[in-house]
Structure 1
Amino acid sequence: MDDFKADFKPEWIKVKLNSLGIKYAQKLGAALAKNYMTTSQIRNVYSEVKRIQATMKGISLTESTTEEHKLKVDLKMDKAYRSFLLLSPKVAYAARRGGGRGIELFQKEFDKMYTAVAECGEHNGELKGKLFKDAFWRFCDLFEAVLAFHKASGGRD
């Protein structure tokens, strides 16, 4: 785990994912494979991320035409954000249960990405829907790249 040398930049989540973020994903995916993290361990988290993404799909955060529509949008975003917040304890549990250097590295790097999204999503306890949605989408893209590079680097099932 100590041989992983790549710096995560929060702006890849908060502002814009760029080619340096993809290079980071490539290095992380390779390091996870080298440290024996299984594809199924990553996919357990990834499937939850995709479920949250599906909850948010189709939510338009432009001005709602009716109060009822605004309430529905707020409820969906709140549900998605609560589910997102629970990812960190789920990853911590998986790391503790699974053990091994790969899952420990994954948890360490996942927490950095997670924190960047959380910082965009909430301010003084109030959900910032558009900022959260945009950051979460970039998080999903980066996470998917890590999974793909893990598998491309020989990550085992």
Structure 2
Amino acid sequence: MATSFNFNNQQVDGIQKAPLWIKNGLDKEAILFAEYFGKELSPEGLGNKEALTTSQIRNVYGEVQRMKMKGFNKSELLLLKPRLAYLTERKGTIGSKDFRKVIEKALDEVLNGKDEKEMELRFQNFANFFEAILAYHRSFGGK
């Protein structure tokens, strides 16, 4: 399963850990996971047929970047989940399904903030996490 890896003799499951990274901020383990996950989602990790393609998530990433520039908007953030579902399930690759699982958990944690200020802080962590995964994905040949 591409959503977990071994770090310091411990299994790190991105689906379980992503909410903690979004709530508490990214740490070394989160960045190592982003590197591992980005590689696993790429053609180098899954092969060309099952890899996540950048075009599958470009619209979602573009929305995240726009929100970073304009400021947090809960309504716009809520719309990311259906967009992510559509874009990643359209082709239904292993890479797109694994990506969706991790990113949806991270999105849910943003929305679990107790108030707007906390949600905005969590959104910044989410945006950084998303960006790290995509940067590593691209560096390992993701297209």
**What residue in structure 1 maps to residue 25 of structure 2?**
16
Deviation at 1:3, TM superposition (A): 4.5
Mapping of residues 102-113 of structure 1, within 5 Å:
102-113=95-106
Aligned-pair Cα RMSD in Å: 1.5
SS of residue paired to 1:86 = helix
Task: Please say if residues 91 and 107 of structure 1, whose CA atoms lie closer than 8 Å, have aligned partners that are also in contact.
Answer: yes
Out of 78, 82, 98, the residue aligned to residue 91 of structure 2 is 98
Change (3 A) 1:129 1:4: closer
Taking structure 2 as the reference length, what is the TM-score of the superposition? 0.82
**What residue in structure 2 maps to residue 84 of structure 1?**
77
SS of residue paired to 1:43 = helix
Out of 109, 125, 134, the residue aligned to residue 147 of structure 1 is 134
Out of 28, 31, 42, the residue aligned to residue 40 of structure 2 is 31
Taking structure 1 as the reference length, what is the TM-score of the superposition? 0.75
Structure 1 stretches of 5 or more lacking a match?
A: 57-76
Task: Please say if residues 57 and 87 of structure 2, whose CA atoms lie closer than 8 Å, have aligned partners that are also in contact.
Answer: no
Out of 31, 37, 40, the residue aligned to residue 55 of structure 2 is 40
- The structure having more radius of gyration, on CA atoms, is 1
CA distance in 2, matches of 1:149, 1:104: 18
Deviation at 1:18, TM superposition (A): 0.7
Cα shift readout 1:68-97 (whole Å, capped 9, x = no counterpart): xxxxxxxxx5xx110001101111111221
CA distance in 2, matches of 1:40, 1:96: 13
**What residue in structure 2 maps to residue 63 of structure 1?**
none
Q: How many residues align?
A: 127
Structure 2 stretches of 5 or more lacking a match?
A: 6-12
CA distance in 2, matches of 1:132, 1:24: 23
Deviation at 1:5, TM superposition (A): 2.0
Task: Please say if residues 13 and 113 of structure 1, whose CA atoms lie closer than 8 Å, have aligned partners that are also in contact.
Answer: yes
Deviation at 1:151, TM superposition (A): 0.6
CA distance in 1, matches of 2:74, 2:57: 20
